[in-house]
Structure 1
Amino acid sequence: MDTHFDNHFFLRDFSRNAQTEGLSDKSINSLAVTKAEHTIDAYESDWNDFCDWCRYHHKSSYPAAPETIVNYINDLADYAKAATIRRRISAISENYNASGEPVENPCKAWIVKEALIGLTRLKGSMQKGKTPIYWEELEEIIGRMDLTTLPGLRDRAVLLLGFMGAFRRSELAGLNVEDIRKYPQGIVITIQHSKTDQLSAGQQIGIPYLSHTSMDCIHALQEWLTAAHITSGPLFRSFLKNGRVSSRRLSDKSINLIVKKYVASIGLNPEFYGAHSLRHGFATYAALHGVEERLIMKQTRHRSVEMVRRYINEADLFTNNPIDKMFNRT
């Protein structure tokens, strides 16, 4: 499939497109101001997010199949608001309209419209993503785990690493032992393939040692690898029917189920939690403790401050709460 225009944002230079042939400069200028500059900026950011997703999943963004749009918005539904999803579809559609190329707009396909209706019915208004898991909740979960078993050791390492590294579930599932390097201060993990790493250059995350070994991610990883006799290949693996560790990589869906299982063990509703709760939890918990925006983004690898500021705003509901200042003065 021809992807010559892949990642190209036509709304920025639509005056050069075939659709404007025959128009005067005055007419072109009047068309150029039909959308506010901040709307164009938002659309460009949305288009780039779609292109990043397509690149990660080895799909073409231009031209794109309607099925690609459907799969993209279903992934978005894990964490994005309904309004965000609708705006992303609008941005993609507007960019196709502005291209001036004889390429069918995939957003107008009936399956895309049906998918949006279906997601709304399934998710309700989709006003919020997965609920964050906080550090204190992780402590309670791990305190109840059976760490004398291989599943317990693996799952503890999954939860702690997912939180500390603010990993997306696909990133966590894709890690290999070779991606981890030890240093006196801790470990550095290289993510070979990530949604926001367009050139697959690799992204590095540093995780330092903690003084409390029961919650130390590095200690948990080492215990899992030693007990499972894993020295290379997939970091997290599934189990065979006889209980032995297999050579197969743990899937991202399995990681999602692991999170749901353990939040239920401490009385939380698993419907509101998933693998993204670890990433969300790290960012919100960091903001709650006054960690500055750029440092949170460094660990979460967010390219845009929009989502990180959402986490900060969530934390700010409590850190700057008038009730707390009125009744909990020390």
Structure 2
Amino acid sequence: MKPVRPQPATPPALSENDRQALNDLYVRGTPENTLRAYERDLLYLTAWKQLSFGAPLAWPEQHECALRFILDHSRDLGDATGPAREVAEALIARGLRRSLACPAPATLNRRIASWQAFHRMKNLDSPFDSPLLKQARAKARRAAARPTAPKSRNPITRPVLEQLLATCRGSRRDCRDRALLMLGWASGGRRRSEIASLRVEDVSLRDFAADGIAWLMLVETKTTRRGATPRLVLKGRAAQALVHWLEVSGIEDGPLFRPVSKSDRVLTRRLTPDAIYQIVRHRLQLAGLPQDFASPHGLRSGFLTQAALDGAPIQAAMRLSLHRSVAQAQRYYDDVEIVENPATDLLG
């Protein structure tokens, strides 16, 4: 059963038309990825509350319920007995939970953040803002601390990217994948949601004939608000691949990257982020690499890793990757620098 998207609380004095307009404004003003996360989390929270307490979610939620949620999701239930394990097994059976292992801290934090957001939408105080719940969350984070798992098993550096591009030959699908991979990598390591959201109207080719440059304008990214994303540039082979895709596809407006049928016909709808994930897996397989060698995020980590290998200043790389934190981008540079550190060769 698909959950109803959470709606903002509205004053009773508003007319039905005004309430619909406000709800529509809320949905249009929230990033699509955030809406999808809200839906998944609302489904999970609703099921957990029903299984644990035999009741639906309450607004505002009781502190005892919120504390139980933290406790049940801050430990490994594999060796446990009792209600917490029974609820977890029921959630696994419904496909809402993967295992009895302690969920990753990031997963717990995201679900609690969604729960807090639902309270804000209804103009209510969240129980997670109380001192007791804040302290419990802090203890849970420390108890479950673990190294952050990379989003991609390996970075897609330039040599790996060339292997993937070599699998793209002459069909429209090959032209699309070549342009998609090059754009995603060379424009600073774009996230798959950003690639999927691109439209032809976001591409400017005014300087292509003279300088071989294509300009990109992303509406928004994870780190920039709507309308505040700076222009990005594509040069050389990447710009040429993009122009070639536009020529062979015949696309003049609308979604930039679209599905291609088995008969090599370009469809009208846009590619989904999951489709981009499947494209990367398919190209890895064609290149003779394991399908789990890298994920689409490998385009992003590979761009920064290659920038470090080539000696590009981190500030220059961040101008394209749009990383908000120097410390976050520095991790890719640190991995390269420690390998090149002469102190690692002292033993010979």
- For residues 240 and 224 of structure 1, the distance between their equivalents in structure 2, rounded to whole angstroms, comes to 15
CA contact (8 A) 1:55 1:198 kept: no
- Higher strand residue share: 1
Structure 2 counterparts to residues 23-42 of structure 1, below 5 A: none
Quote how far apart the aligned CAs of 1:280 are.
Answer: 1.0
- For the pair 1:170 / 2:193, whether they are aligned, the reply is yes
Q: Deviations over 1:242-287 (max 9, x none)?
A: 3311111111111111111112222322224111111111011101
TM-score (normalizing by structure 1): 0.62
Q: Distance in 1 between matches of 2:276 and 2:310?
A: 27
SS of the equivalent of 2:241 reads helix
Residue 205 of structure 1 is aligned with which of 217, 232, 238? 232
Aligned pair 1:150/2:172, yes or no? yes
Change (3 A) 1:105 1:65: farther
What are the superposed Cα offsets for residues 274-314 of structure 1, whole Å, 9 maximum, x if unpaired? 11111111011101111112111111111112320111112
2:275 corresponds in structure 1 to 254
d(CA) in 1 for partners of 2:314, 2:307: 9
Alignment of 1:211-230 (within 5 A): 216-230=237-251
Q: 1:190·1:204 contact (CA, 8 Å) conserved in 2?
A: yes
How many residue pairs end up in the alignment? 243
Kept in 1: contact 2:284–2:293 (CA 8 A) = no
Query: Matches of 2:285 and 2:198 in 1, distance apart?
Result: 26
Where does structure 2 lack aligned partners over 5 or more consecutive residues?
1-6, 10-28, 46-102
Q: Percent identity over the alignment?
A: 27
Distance 2:107 2:183 in 1: 33
Partner residue of 2:31 out of 33, 45, 56:
56
Quote how far apart the aligned CAs of 1:321 are: 4.8
The 3-state SS of whatever aligns with 1:187 is strand
- 2:167/2:283 contact within 8 Å kept: no
- Distance in 1 separating the partners of 2:149 and 2:226: 33
In 1, Cα distance between equivalents of 2:320 and 2:107: 28
> Structure 1, residues 34-75: CA drift from partner, whole Å, max 9, x if none?
xxxxxxxxxxxxxxxxxxxx9424859xxx89916979xxxx
Task: Give the Cα–Cα distance (whole angstroms) in 2 for the partners of residues 68 and 298 of structure 1.
Answer: 36
Decide whether aligned partners of structure 1 residues 252 and 65 sit closer, same or farther in structure 2, where only a CA change above 3 A counts. Answer: closer
| 2:214 maps to which of 163, 187, 194 | 187
Q: Which residue of 1 aligns with 2:329?
A: 308
Two-structure CA RMSD over aligned residues (Å) = 4.0
Partner of 2:297: 276
1:103 aligned onto 2:126: yes
Letter in 2 for 1:271: D
Q: Which secondary structure state, in structure 1, belongs to the residue aligned with residue 292 of structure 2?
A: helix
1:236 to 257, 269, 274: 257
Which residue does 2:41 correspond to in 1? Answer: 67
Unaligned runs of 5+ in 1: 4-53, 72-81, 210-215
The aligned residue for residue 35 of structure 1 is: none
SS of the residue aligned with 1:139?
helix
Say which is worse superposed, 179-188 or 153-162, in terms of deviation.
Answer: 179-188
- Paired residues for 1:123-134 under 5 Å: 127-130=149-152, 131-134=154-157
